[in-house]
Amino acid sequence: MLKTEKLVKAYGEGELRLVVLKELDIEIQDGEFVAIIGASGAGKSTLLYQLSLLDDPTSGEVYFDGIRTANLTEMEKTELRLHKLGYVFQDYALLPELNAIENVALPILMHGCSRAEAFTMATSALERIGLADRKNNLPSQLSGGQQQRVSIARAIAHHPKILFADEPTANLDSGSARVVLDAFLDLHKEGQTIVMVTHEEEYAHSAHRVISLKDGTIMSDKTQSRHSAKT
Amino acid sequence: MRVGWFLAYRQIKRSGKWTTGLIIFIMVLTFLNLVVVSGLLVGLISGSFKQFREGYSGEVIITTATGRDYIENTPALIGFLENHPWVEALSPRYGAGAQVLGTLTDLPDKDKRANRINIRAVGIDPIREEALTHFSRFIMTGENLVSGEEGGVLIGANMLRKYSSFADANIPGLDFLDDVDVGSRVRVTLTQKDGIVQKDFIIRGIVKSKVDEISTRMFMLDKELKRMLAINQEQVQEIAIKTDYAKAGALVSDIKNFMGDYEARVQTTDEAIPSFLRDIESTMNILGSALSSFALIVAAITVFIVVFINAVTKRKFIGIMKGIGISPSAVQFSYIIQAFFYGIVGSCIGLLLTFGVLRPYFDAYPINFPFSDGILVATLTGAGVRVAILLAVTLIAGYVPAKLIVRKNTLDSILGR
């Protein structure tokens, strides 16, 4: 579904040029739960931005469902992100003026659904992650873990092909982090393709496949046998 | 657009009430500046027009044609007007140039001028005049003329040194009567083609108004002045008519049709007002608009800054919205709606204040200027134009900063780069 060929991302020029990703070749198939792990500065988030079409590579290619993304206009990429991709950001990224259900319904409204349809789908997404009873709460009225779960609901409400998560547990205590990871595992069981960036090995091992990065290079790419994440 | 409305509604609903209130307050002040500043400047002149109309001329005024001494066919004309359905009141007036001698007991010293002035004498029917202009309200001291009680006159305050606003101006050629007050005996002289006519009168009252035709003239009973005129005693020099302002033009046409070949000048009051005064009114309008434009600029800058700061502080969220697939135009549209909201609410409050409070207030308590009572000239059409201008400026002021922020690179916005 998602594929890179000799993906390079560099910043700056000449002597100041910094190559963050060094000719990466990655393939992600439907239904995989991939964790990208590495130390700070390894290029994890940079890789995620390339895979999720938020950024353009310096060289190399990214293919989504066989489509060469370099050929896409900015508008087409926005459309692709809206319809096919979902995002969970590190710091929840909920709009403070919208309550939980409104935050989840917002991208659905962009699909052209009516308000009633959007809110029905949003309620369903919140129920999937167990927060339907908090749908009328503003983000300021939710805990960190609850906000992150609302963010997950927003990302999955429109049934994306791939769900990208950038350090989803970074700002959470271990208890809340566990809850979030359990949500991801439940989604994966339902067939959701997930690509998650994390620097926590413990959480990475909850995934089906772990790609380890160091200095912009893949050090290892292991598919592990699944065990229950709910220890 | 739906998403834009969705975002804007919730952002307005859940934004800081004080901030929103302050911005709307600025919009209200801007609107009032747009309407009230030019409205008051124009009202300075319009107030004098209104006073002239209400205090002297009515909505239609008939005067002598050029080169004529009287209005031809006066009796038939008055009969026509009295039976015309649009005429609410009319006041036929005799008029003649006169001299008034204030000191009757002593001869003036050899090297001093006599206590004498030239003045326009106007003969009125007090009852008709009262119906037309509520003439009695101009009497500052003394009493009004009474039909049948001859021998008395009312004199304009600006002709008496004691009461005139110009007494200390020392303008060459501007004469006043000294030591003349209510109860004084004065001698009125009319110079006619076949000789002079003199008669002594008692000052019954002194009239004062910002309308020059009141404060600089002398009023007596029409029958008395008529008898002092040598010829054409049935023809008057002026007829003031009260009617509906909207029908004044049509009434003028009716009168002209009736008059046929008989000569007279028939005009609406607006037509009778000298063009230089109309030019002053236009100039005041331009001046008011120029001053108001500064307020418009301030309002535009305020909205720009508010939207810009709002968008800058939410740059990350704007980036995230773009990242999850919300179109940039939807985000921009939400800011435009917010700017429009400030403009429309401010304008509505401004309209209510203008037409519900300020205009009635200035109508009831006009600004006291020496030459007129300043009123607030504000029409719905004029105000509507200003609302449209304010909204257009507000929309642009909201669109530009939103566009500047929204078009920034999505990832840079998310990461705060």
Asked if the Cβ–Cβ distance from A95 to B321 is below 8 Å, we say yes
Going by C-beta distance under 8 Å and a sequence separation of 6 or more, which residues neighbour residue A116?
A: none
Task: Find the CB nearest B323 among A87, A95, A109.
Answer: A87
Q: How many angstroms separate the CA atoms of B37 and B22, rounded?
A: 21
> Count of CB atoms within 10 A of residue A173's CB?
12
Q: How far is B12 from chain A (nearest CA, A)?
A: 9
Q: How far is A206 from chain B (nearest CA, A)?
A: 25
Q: How many angstroms separate the CA atoms of A70 and A49, rounded?
A: 14
Could you read off the pLDDT of A4-20 as tens digits, one per residue? Answer: 999 999 988 888 888 89
Domain A30-57+73-223 superfamily per CATH: P-loop containing nucleotide triphosphate hydrolases (3.40.50.300)
Residues of A with CB below 8 A from B13's CB?
Answer: 97
Could you read off the pLDDT of A76-118 as tens digits, one per residue? Answer: 888 888 899 999 988 888 988 899 999 999 999 988 888 899 9
Q: What angle do CA B166, B168, B169 make, to 5 degrees?
A: 65
The domain segmentation of chain A, as residue ranges, is 30-57+73-223
**Residue in the block written with tokens 């369903």:** A124
Task: Find the CB nearest A82 among B325, B411, B414.
Answer: B325
Q: How far is B9 from chain A (nearest CA, A)?
A: 10
Q: How many angstroms separate the CA atoms of A30 and A36, rounded?
A: 17
Q: What are phi and psi of A150, to 5 degrees?
A: -65, -40
By the CB < 8 Å criterion, does A229 face chain B? Answer: no
Could you read off the pLDDT of A153-177 as tens digits, one per residue? Answer: 999 888 899 999 999 888 888 888 8
Residues of B with CB below 8 A from A107's CB?
Answer: 324-326
Q: What angle do CA B73, B74, B80 make, to 5 degrees?
A: 95
Task: Find the CB nearest B411 among A55, A78, A154.
Answer: A55
Q: What are phi and psi of B135, to 5 degrees?
A: -55, -30
Task: Find the CB nearest A78 among B14, B327, B411.
Answer: B327
Q: Is the pLDDT of residue B26 over 90?
A: no
Helix (H) or strand (E) holding B101: strand B89-101
Which tokens hold the place of B238?
Answer: 């002026």
Q: How many angstroms separate the CA atoms of B218 and B186, rounded?
A: 12
pLDDT score, position A231: 39
CA dihedral B355, B360, B361, B364 (to 10 degrees): 170
- Are B121 and B225 spatial neighbours (Cβ–Cβ below 8 Å)? yes
- Are B397 and B300 spatial neighbours (Cβ–Cβ below 8 Å)? yes
Q: How far is A54 from chain B (nearest CA, A)?
A: 6
Q: Which residue of A has its CA nearest to B15?
A: A97
By the CB < 8 Å criterion, does A113 face chain B? Answer: no
Q: Label residue A25 by pLDDT band (50, 70, 90).
A: very high
Smallest CA-to-CA distance from A139 within A87, A98, A88 is with A98
Residues of A with CB below 8 A from B328's CB?
Answer: 78
- Are A194 and A162 spatial neighbours (Cβ–Cβ below 8 Å)? yes
Residue ranges of E strands in B208-263: 217-221, 238-242
Residues of A with CB below 8 A from B2's CB?
Answer: 109, 115
Amino acid found at A88: V
pLDDT score, position B408: 85
Which tokens hold the place of B16?
Answer: 């800081």
Mean pLDDT, residues B128-155: 93
Could you read off the pLDDT of B240-252 as tens digits, one per residue? Answer: 999 999 999 999 9
Could you read off the pLDDT of B34-63 as tens digits, one per residue? Answer: 888 888 888 888 888 888 899 999 999 999
Residues of A with CB below 8 A from B7's CB?
Answer: 95, 98, 106
Q: What percent of chain B has pLDDT over 70?
A: 96
Asked if the Cβ–Cβ distance from A106 to B6 is below 8 Å, we say yes
pLDDT score, position B108: 62
Q: How many angstroms separate the CA atoms of A183 and A129, rounded?
A: 6
What is the number of residues in chain A? 231
Which tokens hold the place of B144?
Answer: 């009004």
Q: Label residue B80 by pLDDT band (50, 70, 90).
A: very high
- Are B153 and B220 spatial neighbours (Cβ–Cβ below 8 Å)? yes
Going by C-beta distance under 8 Å and a sequence separation of 6 or more, which residues neighbour residue B190?
A: B96, B97, B98, B121, B196, B197, B198, B228, B229
Counting one residue from A and one from B, how many pairs have CB atoms under 8 Å apart? 66
Tell how far CA A89 is from the center of its chain. 7
Could you read off the pLDDT of B176-223 as tens digits, one per residue? Answer: 888 889 999 999 998 777 778 889 999 999 999 988 889 999 999 998
pLDDT score, position A229: 43
By the CB < 8 Å criterion, does A167 face chain B? Answer: no
Q: Is the pLDDT of residue B20 over 50?
A: yes
